Amino acid sequence: MRVLTIVGPTAVGKTSTAIDIAGRISGEIISADSRQIYQYLNIGTAKPTDKQREKVRFHLIDFIHPDDSYSCGQFARDAEAKIEEISARGNAPIVCGGTGLYIRALFNPLHRLPETNKEIKARLLENLNNYGIEHLYKKLHTIDPEWARQITPKDKQRIVRGLEVYELTGKPLSALIKKKRKKSKHRPLYLGLTIPREELYKRINVRFEQMIDQGLVEEVRSLLERGFNPRSNALRTIGYKEIVEYLQGNITLSEARDKAQRHTRNFAKRQITWFSKIRGIQWCNPKELEVIEAIIHQLKMG
């Protein structure tokens, strides 16, 4: 089955375009956004508004605790299940988001590796804090030298994951990923959204100003007061980490704003580079309605 997949840089207008199309083809939207998965992070992740959610059903939003981790492989499995579920209702699944790794994992399945074990991971992270990353890297080099050579000695996430997989399976991670990958059940019908770079950067700057006005500082303060770890993946994302720095007294609010806007612009540039390498994407400005009409026609024709 071909699945409409809307991609592009942050702030380009993916969500509104997906909602418009969904309303015309009985669609439901599967978010491919690695920040919107987190509960309680609302303003800084530009989640769909309540009004937007009333128009169209969204999936894979607001379901991961801010201190928990979530992998590309997990997304691929969850999104595949949602595609089947939506199709069974007679509706059209629409994947929409800017996290390239999620989308690649869905349509180019990753190797099936064991789920994270919280106890093992917690112990490894404790060892990391007590003995340092060099100690864990040496240990990884002993049990899985091939994986150790593929990553850098400072790559905490992949070092810990390599050690964790070995403890869970007794096999090196490098050996497990050599196994033949499965094929995706679905094929993407890509729609890429693009606007002039100057206009995109202006949107990014204005949107972050709006997030501040909407209460982003208060949202982050509330998350910290509730005990969420400022070093968690959720709070280390763009927009949140800069406000955390401000609340910790390390920078001014003006500096936090400038840093967040700059980091977001750089992130958008990386997204553009990533998606430009994918073959078969039909690129258009969201205002180019004839291209969107052609996409809708393709979907209706099957």
What residue segments make up the domains of the chain, in order of their start? 2-109+183-301, 118-176
Does the structure show a pLDDT above 80 at 110? no
Higher pLDDT, 295 or 227: 227
Residues 6+ apart with CB under 8 A from 283: 192, 193, 194
3 state DSSP class of 250? coil
More confident: 6 or 183: 6
Q: Is 100 a residue whose pLDDT tops 90?
A: yes
- pLDDT for position 183: 76
DSSP secondary structure letters along 58-93: EESSS-B-TTS---HHHHHHHHHHHHHHHHHTT-EE
How far apart (Å, rounded) are the C-alpha atoms in residues 182 and 200?
37
Number of helices and strands in the chain (H, E): 14, 6
Question: Rounded CA gap, 50 and 233, in Å?
Answer: 25
d(C-alpha 165, C-alpha 120), whole Å: 10
- Say what the pLDDT of residue 123 is: 92
Residue 111 has pLDDT above 70, yes or no: no
pLDDT, mean over the chain: 93
**Cα–Cα distance between 121 and 126 in angstroms, integer?**
9
Pick the range with the lowest mean pLDDT from 93-107, 168-182, 243-257: 168-182
Read off the pLDDT of residues 137-161 as tens digits, 9 standing for 90 and up: 999 999 999 999 989 898 898 999 9
Average pLDDT over residues 259-280: 96
User: Does 64 score more than 90 pLDDT?
Assistant: yes
In degrees, rounded to 5, the angle at the alpha carbon of residue 192 between the alpha carbons of residues 188 and 198 is: 160
- Answer yes or no: same fold for 2-109+183-301 and 118-176: no
CATH superfamily of 2-109+183-301: P-loop containing nucleotide triphosphate hydrolases (3.40.50.300)
For 25-54, write each residue's pLDDT tens digit. Answer: 999 999 999 999 999 999 999 999 999 999
How far apart (Å, rounded) are the C-alpha atoms in residues 37 and 66? 9
Whole-prediction pTM value?
Answer: 0.82
CA-closest candidate to residue 286, choices 212, 195, 167, 182: 195
> Which pLDDT band, with edges at 50, 70 and 90, does 90 fall under?
very high
Q: Which CATH number is associated with domain 118-176?
A: 1.10.20.140
Per-residue model confidence (pLDDT) at position 182: 67
Nearest CA among 139, 130, 116 for reference residue 233? 116
Which of 299, 237, 298, 243 minimizes the C-alpha distance to 99?
Answer: 237
pLDDT-derived band of residue 230, with 50, 70 and 90 as boundaries?
very high
CA angle (152, 153, 158) in 5-degree steps:
65
Percentages helix, strand, coil for the chain (3-state, rounded to 5) are 55, 10, 35
Cβ neighbours around 63 below 10 Å, total: 12
Q: Please, what's the b/e burial string for 232-248 (b: 16 or more CB within 10 A of its CB; e: otherwise)?
A: bbbbebbbbbbbbbbbe
pLDDT in tens, 175-195: 887 765 667 889 999 999 999
Long-range contacts of 100-105 (CB under 8 A, 24+ apart): 100/7, 100/271, 100/274, 100/275, 101/34, 101/72, 102/32, 102/33, 102/34, 102/72, 102/75, 102/76, 103/5, 103/7, 103/32, 103/188, 104/72, 105/72, 105/73, 105/75, 105/76
Cα angle 190, 192, 194 (rounded to 5 degrees) comes to 175
Beta-carbon contacts of 200 under 8 Å, excluding residues fewer than 6 positions away, are 9, 11, 12, 268
255 falls in which pLDDT band (50, 70, 90)?
very high
Q: Would you state the pLDDT for residue 291? A: 84
- Distance of alpha carbon 198 from alpha carbon 219, whole angstroms: 29
Above 90 in pLDDT, residue 290?
A: no
